[in-house]
Amino acid sequence: MKKKILFFEDLGKKEYKETWKYQKKLFDDLIQKKENNKFYKKEAGYFLFVEHPHVYTIGKNGKKDNHLLVTSEFLKKINASFCKTDRGGDITYHGPGQLIGYPILNMDYFFTDIHKYLRMLEEVIIHFLWKNYGIIGERKKGRTGVWFHNQIGKSRKICAIGIRISRWVTMHGFALNVNTDLRYFDHIIPCGIYNQEVTSLKKELKKNDISFQEVKQMVKKSFQEIFDVEFVSMHHK
């Protein structure tokens, strides 16, 4: 059976708002094609990788006043910006050393179940951690994302997930902490969860730096395996 095709693009380092605008364009195009039945056979959408400069983003139902712990002046001092966005979820941080994956998918080609989709995004990260590093990533009941548990039972979050779905087309996605400066999380209540420790691959593996390019390749492979897709470069579209 022929695999579903996703157009893949690595945007490198790009501002959050600029990337959001680009995502929205792909998202709107996908909805339009869907409504006009102008799909090429098995082309199920797009998958983007990106790394953002320091930015705090908050979802539609997030509480900025309660969950952003610093002033606008302080954000300027630490070279960070703030952006309200149209995904689900609360406040989170994006920045250098964090791998962002944005799947923009026509779910008619997969399944029309939001919860299943969120669990599969988690599964991509869980699969990646176990297959490449022998690390057990875990889910938390009633919460979206991927965590580690240490010996004393305190959990640490390594991957945040926040999405938007409209007319069964997805946008936004996951943020995996690879070489992330975790001090930036001190200025928020991450995802609106109090006493939530955040971690990174670098911290858990006790290394100076993890190869970002290698991680990208590994996460791509895990995504292909879990979603049963084939990637085609956007430049060959």
Residues designated as active site: 191
Residue type, 61: N
Residue 171 zone, left/alpha/beta (φ > 0; ψ -120 to 50; rest): beta
CA distance 127 to 17: 30
Torsion of CA 89, 127, 94, 46, to 10 degrees: -80
Residue type, 18: E
CA distance 109 to 161: 21
CA distance 230 to 7: 9
Q: Are 175 and 208 in contact (CB under 8 A)?
A: no
CB-neighbour burial class of residue 36 (10 A; exposed 0-12, middle 13-18, buried 19+):
exposed
**Short-list 89, 168, 99, CA closest to 129:** 99
